[in-house]
Structure 1
Amino acid sequence: MASPAEKAYYRFVVLFFNCMLTFGSYFCFDIPSVLQEQFQGNLTCLNSTVSNGTKCVEGLGLTPQEYNLLYAIYAWTNAVVVIMAGFLIDKLGNRFGVLFFSSLAVLGSAIFALASHFKGTYLLPLMLTGRLLFGSGNGSLTIVQNRITAFWFRGKELALAFGLTLAFSRLGSVLNFFLTQRFETQYGMQWTLWGGTLLCVLGFLSAITVSVLDKVGTKQLGLDGAIQEESRKVRVRDVRLLSLRYWLLVFTIMFFYNGIFPFIADASKFIQDKYSGYSQKEAAYIAGAVYDSSLVLSAAVGILVDYVGLRGVFAVLCAVMTLPVFGLLAFTFVPPLISTIWLGVTYSFAAASMWPSIPLLVPQATLGTAMGLATSVQMIGVGVSNLIVGQILGSKTSEIPLWRWQCMMIFLLINTISCVITSTILNIVDGKQGGALNNTTKRSVDQNADVQTDREPLLSAGEEERTNASTSINTT
Structure 2
Amino acid sequence: LAVLSLAYYRFLVLFFACLLTFGSYFCFDMPSVLQDQFQGVSNITCYNGTFTNHSRDCIEGLGMSPQEFNFLYAIYAWTNAVVVIVAGFLIDKLGNRFGLFLFSLLTVLGSSIFALGSHFKGTSYMLPIMLIGRLLFGAGNGSLTIVQARVAAFWFKGKELALALCLTRSFSRLGSVLNFFITEEFECQYGIQWTLWGGTILCILGFLSAVIVSELDIAGVKQLGLDGAIKEESKKVRAQDIQHLPLRYWLLALTIMFFYTGIHPFVADASKFIQDKYDGYDRRTAGYIAGAVYDSPLFLSAAIGILIDYIGMRGVMVFLCSVLTPPVFALLAFTYVPPLVATLWLGVMYCLAAASMWPSIPLLVRQATLGMAMGIATSMQMIGIGLSNLIVGAILGSKSSEAKIPLWRWQEMMIYMLVNTIACIATSVALNVVDRKKVRTNKVRRNTKPNTQVESRSGALPDTENE
What is the TM-score with the length of structure 1 in the denominator? 0.91
Specify the alignment match of 1:472 in structure 2: none
Counterparts of 2:435 and 2:3, CA distance in 1: 38
Which of 364, 386, 406 does residue 361 from structure 1 map onto?
364
- Superposed, which structure 2 residues align to 1:169-184 within 5 Å? 169-184=172-187
Query: In 2, Cα distance between the equivalents of 1:414 and 1:313?
Result: 21
Could you tell me how far apart the structure 1 residues matched to 2:250 and 2:94 are? 25
The match for 1:145 is 148
Aligned partners of 2:367, 2:456: CA distance in 1, in Å?
A: 13
Distance 2:217 2:100 in 1: 11
**What amino acid does structure 2 have at the position aligned with 1:328?**
L
Q: Which residue number corresponds to residue 75 of structure 1?
A: 77
The answer to whether 1:255 aligns with 2:258 is: yes
Pair 1:92 & 2:91 matched: no
Match of 2:424 among 408, 419, 428: 419
Question: CA 1:448–1:252 in 2, change beyond 3 Å: closer, same or farther?
Answer: farther
Contact 1:77 1:132 in 2 (8 A): yes
Q: Alignment partner of 1:46: what SS?
A: helix
Could you tell me which amino acid in structure 2 is paired with residue 56 of structure 1? Answer: C
Query: Amino acid of the residue matched to residue 380 of structure 1?
Result: I
1:401 corresponding residue in structure 2: 406
Match of 1:207 among 207, 210, 228: 210
Work out which of the residue numbers 302, 311, 317 in structure 1 matches 2:305. 302
Matching of residues 439-454 of structure 1 within 5 Å: 449=454, 451-452=456-457
Aligned-pair distance for 1:167? 1.0
The C-alpha deviation readout for 1:113-158, integer Å capped at 9, x for no partner, is 0111001111000000000000000000000000111110000000
Q: What code does the residue aligned with 1:300 have?
A: A
The 2-side partners of 1:4 and 1:305 are apart by 26
Distance 1:6 1:343, change over 3 A: same
Deviation of 1:104 after TM superposition, in Å, equals: 0.3
CA distance in 2, matches of 1:452, 1:382: 30
**Aligned positions of 1:50-65 closer than 5 A:** 55-65=57-67
Aligned to 2:449: none
| Structure 2 match to 1:11 | 10
Aligned equivalent of 2:433: 428
1:168 match: 171
Give the letter for the 1:87 counterpart. Answer: F
- After superposition, residues 367-406 of structure 1 pair within 5 angstroms as 367-396=370-399, 397=401, 398-406=403-411
Query: Which one of 301, 306, 317 corresponds to residue 314 of structure 1?
Result: 317
Deviation of 1:399 after TM superposition, in Å, equals: 1.2
- Is the 1:286–1:337 contact (alpha carbons within 8 Å) kept by the matching residues of 2? yes
Report the residue type matching 2:22 in the other structure: F
Quote the Cα distance in structure 2 between the aligned partners of 1:216 and 1:110.
32
For structure 1, the residue ranges without an aligned partner over 5 or more in a row are 437-446, 456-476
Q: Which residue matches 2:445?
A: none
CA separation of 1:180 and 1:237: change in aligned 2, threshold 3 A: same
8 Å Cα contact 1:45-1:56 kept in structure 2: no
Task: Report the secondary structure of 1:451's partner residue.
Answer: coil
Change (3 A) 1:277 1:328: same
For residues 198 and 454 of structure 2, the distance between their equivalents in structure 1, rounded to whole angstroms, comes to 49
C-alpha displacement at 1:3, in angstroms?
3.0
What amino acid does structure 1 have at the position aligned with 2:245? Answer: L
Aligned pairs for 1:180-195 within 5 A: 180-195=183-198
The one-letter amino acid paired with 2:278 is Y
Deviation of 1:46 after TM superposition, in Å, equals 2.5
Give the unaligned 5+ runs of structure 2: 51-55, 442-451, 461-467
Contact 1:433 1:453 (C-alpha < 8 Å) held by counterparts: no
CA 154–323 in structure 1, closer or farther in 2 if over 3 Å, else same: same
User: Aligned equivalents of 2:42 and 2:356: distance in 1?
Assistant: 45
The letter of the residue matching 2:428 is S
> Match of 1:409, as an amino acid?
M
Partner residue, 2:37: 38
Deviations 1:49-68 (A, max 9, x none): 69xxx921110000000000
Displacement after TM superposition at 1:45 (Å):
5.1
Contact 1:115–1:126 (CA<8 Å) still a contact in 2? yes
Contact 1:434 1:450 in 2 (8 A): no
> What letter matches 1:388 in structure 2?
I
Deviation at 1:449, TM superposition (A): 3.8
CA contact (8 A) 1:242 1:454 kept: no
Find the aligned partners of 2:167 and 2:313 in 1 and give their Cα distance: 19
Q: Is the contact made by 2:39 and 2:64 (CA closer than 8 Å) also made in structure 1? A: yes
- Asked if 1:227 is matched to 2:230, the reply is yes
Is residue 255–residue 381 contact of structure 1 (8 Å, CA) maintained in 2? yes
Partner-residue secondary structure (3-state), 1:117: helix
Q: Identity of counterpart residues, as a percentage?
A: 69
Return structure 1 stretches of 4+ with deviation > 6 angstroms: none
Give the 3-state SS of the residue equivalent to 1:141 in structure 2: helix
Distance 1:394 1:448 in 2: 59
Q: Distance in 2 between matches of 1:450 and 1:384?
A: 39
TM-score by length of 2: 0.92
Instruction: Give the 3 Å change call, closer, same or farther, for CA 227–256 of structure 1 in structure 2.
Output: same
